[in-house]
Amino acid sequence: MAFDLAARLAERRAADLYRQRPLLESPQGPEVVVDGQRLLAFCSNDYLGLANHPEVIAAWQAGAERWGVGGGASHLVVGHSTPHHQVEEALAELTGRPRALLFSTGYMANLGAITALVGQGDTVLQDRLNHASLLDGGLLSGARFNRYLHNDPASLASRLEKAVGNTLVVTDGVFSMDGDVADLPALAKVARARGAWLMVDDAHGLGTLGAQGGGIVEHFGLGLEDVPVLIGTLGKACGTAGAFVAGSEALIETLVQFARPYIYTTSQPPALACATLKSLELLRRETWRREHLTALIRQFREGAQQIGLALMHSPTPIQPIMIGDSAQALRLSRMLRERGLLVTAIRPPTVPAGSARLRVTLSAAHSEAQVQLLLNALAECYPQLENADA
């Protein structure tokens, strides 16, 4: 029996769910060139505007001169360079934890942490809207896998009553498609009452939340006992690449010994770690970036409310405009692009059926004038969408 790949692709096209890769022909930033067209972009996760920062670029170049290009081997063989170690120390300091462990990608960090901590005879409970890498880690672990209602401590508590073995509760810190923030204090309280560990993937909170940019755990003032396992990625607010797990000495040593995605992969380029060190320095020192970002979020939400856009309850740089129908979401995205604005339409299976949306993301590199340009275009285009439905 042959694989009918053409039929699968045709089915996806017919459902307005086919995806294509836009070709970025410029560095990350508010103004980009995509597929030969100059556009004002509102779809990057470069929340603090560090991906093309001259000091970060210079740090990478100097790192390549000093340390070469490739990592050369896995961390446990001879690939753990001084810059890698320095990044781990800086991340431990930023998150207020004894240690941190550097991974090459966020996907690997999530798979590695979950599969190293739970297995057959254990339980993993996850928020219904968690990122795909968290869900995959839970399924691959071999532990009993269940999902609780989104951001619902009561739903978690009822599932914890049926948990067996070591139990790991897993949630995103900031949910990547909705932009809302996990109720960590309540989730931590429920988990601790049942002797479960709470693991938080703070991919979208690190750098944007907390007075020092330490993320959602700092934002809520929680400690190691509340959130024993903290994940963060470096390719978003930090502007570079990679990820980490931060926690106790025992946790990090356990991951070094048992996290297969860490053990069996070549380390990231040491020059990349040099760039990350610089971006972490800027993230902490230049607090104006978070302050400006907060002002832009307020400006966008107030303007969107005046237009009558259906926003979600998000205090973060992720500001989804709910549309519902995938074809209509694509249409609004195309109308904006015709006006020189790049805002991505997000459709199932990334989001639940019937909840297609435009995912606006704001950056500290955006100006108030640029956000106003987006609001003006939405005020012009959104009513056309409603008229088409009438």
pLDDT at 389 > cutoff 60 = no
Q: For this structure, is 204 an active site residue?
A: yes
Q: List pLDDT tens digits, range 291-306.
A: 999 999 999 999 999 9
Span 6-17, mean pLDDT? 91
Q: pLDDT-based confidence at 281, cuts 50/70/90?
A: very high
Please tell me which residue in 53, 80, 84, 204 is annotated as part of the active site. 204
Please tell me which residue in 236, 278, 292, 366 is annotated as part of the active site. 236
Q: For this structure, is 176 an active site residue?
A: yes
Q: Measure the CA–CA gap between 219 and 226, rounded to whole angstroms.
A: 13
Q: List pLDDT tens digits, range 25-45.
A: 999 999 999 999 999 999 999
Q: List pLDDT tens digits, range 138-196.
A: 999 999 999 999 999 999 999 999 999 999 999 999 999 999 999 999 999 999 999 99
Tokens (6 digits) for 117: 């901590």
Q: Judge if pTM exceeds 0.85.
A: yes
Please tell me which residue in 44, 176, 333, 363 is annotated as part of the active site. 176
Span 311-337, mean pLDDT? 96
User: Of the candidates 171, 163, 166, which has an alpha carbon nearest to the alpha carbon of residue 137?
Assistant: 171
Within 10 angstroms of residue 80's Cβ, the number of other Cβ atoms is: 18
Residue 388's pLDDT is what?
Answer: 55
